[in-house]
Amino acid sequence: MPRETIRKLSENTERLLVAGAHLARGNAELTRDKEALDQLIAKLGAKSPPVFAKLAEQLAKTLTAPGKTQALELLSLATSLAQVRAGLAQLAPVPSDDTAVPVAHAVETPCNAKDLYAVHDALVTTGQGRMEVIDSAVERGDIGDLRLVHAVVQAMSDAYIGATVADKVVPQFGRAIVEPIRKKLRFPGSKVDGRRLRALVAVQKDEARDLIDEAIATGSADMRAAAFDAIADHLPGAAGLDALALAALDGDKSGEVRRAAVRALAGYGTDASLQTLLEALDDARTLHQAAEALAKSRHPDATTRLLERLESSRVEAAAKVKKDDKAAATKRDAARSRVSAVLRALSEHRDPRIAPAVRALLEVAPILAAQTLVAQGHSDDLRLVADLLHKDYEPEFRVAVDALGKLPVDEAFDRVMALFVAKDRDTKLGKARLTALRSARFVPVGPRWAPALLALLGGAVTRPEALAWMIAATGDAQAVAPLMAALEREKKAELAAELVDALGTLGDKRALPPIIARVAAGELRWSISHAVLALADETTVDAVRTLFAALKNPNQNWELSYLLRSLERRYPGH
């Protein structure tokens, strides 16, 4: 009762402060409040707090104050009321429908205060250098900080960094970021809402079905496309969603939505989905998406139907046309596109019928056909494709290396080692072959490699820079000492950088002193910085600082300056 009386009085006083003190004199509401207060005081009797009497007195003054003093009296009343209400304040009532807090995965708070606000500001304010700050935080591994959740959610809508944040940063938070993103999600939705939807499905998977359904039923074209993309990327083959994709392909006017719906059909094994995808192969607007989806099709007849398509296009694709026969050339090119699409579609299917059909297409679509044969994995075909490495057509070298990687270890070993000692190793093609090993990320498996490669390194091999990365790729710890020795005697900066890069990859801290010596020799470049940072500990700070200090104009060497600052940030106080 007292609380309610005071509350009403306070509200009416507040209204007068807002409307104007000149309305206070004789105000009807205040008069009623005074009566209520007087009754309360009378009821409480001796137990009535003295402050109530003071309030009543002040209220009386306010009701009767002449114009000049109305504001003063009203303000005095408001001030007294503020203190009374403060004294009456209680814990807010809480409903009794509380439930347990759901179990959650912990999200750490790894960021120190300085970096935290720097990253936060990069996420939510505009300006230069934001992407670099965010990329650094991703690389450091401390962007997944609980306190950045809301800033990350906000940044998803940023025109410049939004896509990067959605793809690289959001996944670092897991389920902790779901609710905040959900709260921001709007329908029919914009492109940004589409981004939010994809991020939610990536984390929640099937738990986000409600959002997918709503996006497809009521969403904008951006949202509908995002929903189908999300199905394709995160819910392949999920029950019931193919019907939505088929309906969209039947009636949606948006090309973007239709392309995404084609992608979403991947992973389904129904007749309707297979037929629709095959038809989509005939449409240039959906050709690529159909090929991608058919590659993942689970329909038992998918391979058969694709091979039929391949056969029906093969002859046309292989046709020889006269130079000035444009119509024939167009027809042939269209057939070749279809063949390429079908080959892509076949890339993830495994069937003994595929290899013979594809072999016949090595002339028509050499790289795609070779890739398909490698995927099928028959030994003879692998050798056939691996032999492409000895031919003269560079674009085929990468797929040839892929084939090498699938051959028996000893056979691959012999073929690769031969490349290092081939007579033409220093020609353009010879170098391209060795480069292809690296760019295709050939992985040397087994204990034979490291000793053999090291032996080459120590010999009169003129392509040593092509060896270093491969030695590191073996992961063989026995390679560290020989690489260090090679580094110490190496005079050429370019090769030294390769050796340093290899040592950084192997991750053995023993390699740090000779690497630092290279820095001392002024050979700092990105690969060397990277290796130093990979192997560093607290003592590295002083070592690099010593080198920095020894420079005539230290601050003009931005690479070394950057390396030193990176180390100082990692090891503060050193």
Partner 1 sequence: MPIEVTEDLIRAVTTKDKALSDGRTLAKKGSFKATFRTADGSLIWGDCQGSGAKPYVLSIDLAGDAPTIRCTCPVKPPPCKHTLGLLVLFLEQPAKFGVGEPAAELIEKRAKNVERAEKRVEGAAKPSTSNVAAQKKKSEAQRAAIDELLEPLLLDLLNGGLGTIDGKRAAKLVEQARQLNDAYLPGAAERLRRIAALSTPRDDDDDTYYQLREPGDDLPDEQRHRLLTRHVTRLFAMVRKGRKYLDEKLEEGESQDDADSVVEELLGRVWKLEELKQKGYARQSLVLLELAYERYDDHVREERIEQSFLLELGDGAIYVDRTFRPLDRMDKMKEGESFEKPLLVSEAVVYPGFVNKRIRWEIAARKSRNLERADLDAIHARALPAFDAAVAKLKEQLKNPLAPDEAVLLVQIRDVRKLSDGGLVAIDGKGAKLDLRDSPLARYRSLGNLETTIGASLDANGALKQPASLLVRLYVGLADEAIHGQPLALIVGHDHVRVGM
Binding string, residues 176-205; x marks residues near partner 1 by CB under 8 A = x--xx---x---------------------
Minimum distance between the CB of residue 362 and partner 1, rounded to whole angstroms? Answer: 56
Q: Which of 140, 137, 159, 139 is nearest to 148 (CA)?
A: 137
Q: Judged by CB under 8 A, which of 42, 113, 159, 315 binds partner 1? A: 113
- Stretch of 108-116, 214-222, 354-362, 445-453 lying at the interface with partner 1 (CB under 8 A): 108-116
Minimum distance between the CB of residue 508 and partner 1, rounded to whole angstroms? Answer: 27
Minimum distance between the CB of residue 183 and partner 1, rounded to whole angstroms? Answer: 9
- Stretch of 402-410, 488-496, 523-531, 541-549 lying at the interface with partner 1 (CB under 8 A): 541-549
Gap between the Cα atoms of 271 and 334, Å rounded: 26
Q: Which two tokens stand for residue 248?
A: 């969209």
The DSSP output letter for 286 is T
Residue with tokens 């070993």: 413
Q: Judged by CB under 8 A, which of 31, 39, 64, 109 binds partner 1? A: 109
- Stretch of 90-98, 330-338, 365-373, 469-477 lying at the interface with partner 1 (CB under 8 A): 90-98
Binding of partner 1 at residue 14 (CB under 8 A)? yes
Q: Which two tokens stand for residue 365?
A: 């679509």
Residues 69-88, interacting with partner 1 (CB under 8 A): 70-72, 74-76, 78-79, 82-83, 85-87
Gap between the Cα atoms of 234 and 328, Å rounded: 42
- Stretch of 106-114, 285-293, 410-418, 505-513 lying at the interface with partner 1 (CB under 8 A): 106-114
Minimum distance between the CB of residue 107 and partner 1, rounded to whole angstroms? Answer: 6
User: Which distant-in-sequence residues (6+ apart) come within 8 Å of 197 by Cβ?
Assistant: 185, 189, 208, 211, 212, 215, 223, 226, 227, 230
Binding of partner 1 at residue 556 (CB under 8 A)? no
Gap between the Cα atoms of 177 and 119, Å rounded: 17
Q: Judged by CB under 8 A, which of 28, 42, 327, 549 binds partner 1? A: 549
Gap between the Cα atoms of 518 and 251, Å rounded: 65
- Stretch of 112-120, 397-405, 487-495, 503-511 lying at the interface with partner 1 (CB under 8 A): 112-120
Q: Which two tokens stand for residue 226?
A: 């995002």
Q: Judged by CB under 8 A, which of 42, 92, 315, 327 binds partner 1? A: 92
Asked if 304 and 271 touch (Cβ cutoff 8 Å), the reply is no
Cα–Cα–Cα angle for 372, 298, 293, rounded to 5 degrees: 60
Binding string, residues 141-170; x marks residues near partner 1 by CB under 8 A = -----xx-xxx--x----------------
> What number of other Cβ atoms are within 10 A of residue 547's Cβ?
21
Gap between the Cα atoms of 467 and 417, Å rounded: 10
Binding of partner 1 at residue 114 (CB under 8 A)? yes
- Stretch of 7-15, 38-46, 322-330, 485-493 lying at the interface with partner 1 (CB under 8 A): 7-15
User: Which distant-in-sequence residues (6+ apart) come within 8 Å of 44 by Cβ?
Assistant: 2, 52
> What number of other Cβ atoms are within 10 A of residue 301's Cβ?
12
Residue 80 DSSP SS3: helix
Burial class (CB in 10 A: 0-12, 13-18, 19+), 229: buried
Q: Which is nearer to partner 1, 45 or 573 (CB)?
A: 573
Q: Which is nearer to partner 1, 45 or 90 (CB)?
A: 90
Residue 205 DSSP SS3: helix
CA distances from 243 to 101, 218, 264, 272, 292 (A): 36, 16, 10, 9, 19
Binding of partner 1 at residue 533 (CB under 8 A)? no
Binding of partner 1 at residue 555 (CB under 8 A)? yes
- Stretch of 266-274, 347-355, 403-411, 563-571 lying at the interface with partner 1 (CB under 8 A): 563-571
Binding of partner 1 at residue 7 (CB under 8 A)? yes
Q: Judged by CB under 8 A, which of 28, 103, 315, 460 binds partner 1? A: 103
Amino acid 265 reads L
Binding of partner 1 at residue 251 (CB under 8 A)? no
In degrees rounded to 5, what are phi and psi of residue 50? -55, -30
Binding of partner 1 at residue 515 (CB under 8 A)? no
Q: Which is nearer to partner 1, 125 or 439 (CB)?
A: 125
CA distances from 123 to 117, 141, 293, 566 (A): 10, 16, 35, 21
Minimum distance between the CB of residue 49 and partner 1, rounded to whole angstroms? Answer: 13
Minimum distance between the CB of residue 200 and partner 1, rounded to whole angstroms? Answer: 15
Gap between the Cα atoms of 31 and 24, Å rounded: 10
Gap between the Cα atoms of 223 and 229, Å rounded: 10
The DSSP output letter for 145 is -
The count of residues interacting with partner 1 (CB under 8 A) is: 70
Minimum distance between the CB of residue 148 and partner 1, rounded to whole angstroms? Answer: 8
Q: Judged by CB under 8 A, which of 28, 42, 89, 327 binds partner 1? A: 89
Binding of partner 1 at residue 248 (CB under 8 A)? no
Minimum distance between the CB of residue 135 and partner 1, rounded to whole angstroms? Answer: 20
Burial class (CB in 10 A: 0-12, 13-18, 19+), 22: exposed
Binding of partner 1 at residue 519 (CB under 8 A)? no
**Which residues in this chain contact partner 1 in the complex, by CB under 8 A?**
7, 10, 14, 17-22, 70-72, 74-76, 78-79, 82-83, 85-87, 89-95, 97-107, 109, 112-114, 116-117, 120, 124, 146-147, 149-151, 154, 176, 179-180, 184, 542, 545-546, 548-550, 554-555, 564-565, 568, 573
